[in-house]
Amino acid sequence: MNYLILFLTLALAITFTFLYKDGIKKNKIIKIISVLLFIVYLFRLFTFDEINNTFNVLLYDIETPIDSPSTWLFSQSMTIFMIMLRWTTIVSLILLVLHSFFDSLEVKWVGAVLGLISGFLNFIFFKNNLIAFEGEVMMASYRSIQFFIENALLLGLSIILFYQLVKNKSLRLSYKKWYRVVFVVLITMFALMPQALLVNLFGYYGEIPDEFTVSHIFVIVFPFIFMLLIYFAMRKTSQSDKDW
């Protein structure tokens, strides 16, 4: 309970410091928070999460000697929920950091809204996140403190940007911008898909290749083809459309 109170206190403190602090450029504050958020997140990249051992949570029909339910840390529905929540958390975190240096309404909108939802859900399911990290709840552990700080910064930054959207009347988007929002969500979700996601959901399906295959070539070549398509699609558009 003490951690939850501190979590809310820190998030609200960041928000109110931004909203009511005079004489400091707001963009600079946002960039500082973004850099801190990214630095704190980097510490998580060098650790292993127990939930990554989850196998075939959708009970896909495959032949395997592994007892799938024995690898789950939660019930089936809660396991799926936590996997999705962790995914949206990473997506919103990266978008919030990117927006601080590359101004885009669509990126800001997705980062703020998705970050706000993910941040509060992480707060509500804080102990579940700790179990996903370490397999048990250890409130005073390194992982607990790291995630506490990370999510507090994420939630605080999301509240700040969400407030800006409301204040600038940008929360309600036009149909054209909705297409861009969907595009940002799909591309970012694909780019930041958790490495263990497919195994978590479906288990091991098919054979593991021993040699370089056509699939490998496709994965390598696809980004370059995608960049060329974007270039030819956008080369005759105005600079404002290119900057979004």
pLDDT in tens, the chain (244 residues): 545 655 665 666 666 666 655 545 677 888 888 999 999 999 888 888 999 999 999 887 667 788 889 999 999 999 999 999 999 999 999 999 988 888 788 889 999 999 999 998 998 899 999 999 999 998 888 898 899 889 988 988 898 888 888 888 888 888 778 888 888 898 889 888 888 888 898 887 555 555 556 655 666 676 667 666 665 665 655 555 555 5
Reduced 3-state DSSP string for 116-140:
HHHHHHHHHCHHHHHHHHHCCCCCC
pLDDT at position 57, please?
93
pLDDT at position 23, please?
Answer: 47
d(CA 194, CA 132): 14
Q: What is the pLDDT of residue 2?
A: 47
pTM above 0.85, yes or no: no
Residues 227/89, Cβ–Cβ less than 8 Å: no
- What is d(CA 17, CA 10) in angstroms, rounded to the nearest whole number? 10
Task: End-to-end CA distance of the chain: give it in Å, rounded.
Answer: 42
- Measured distance CA(8)–CA(70) in Å, rounded: 35
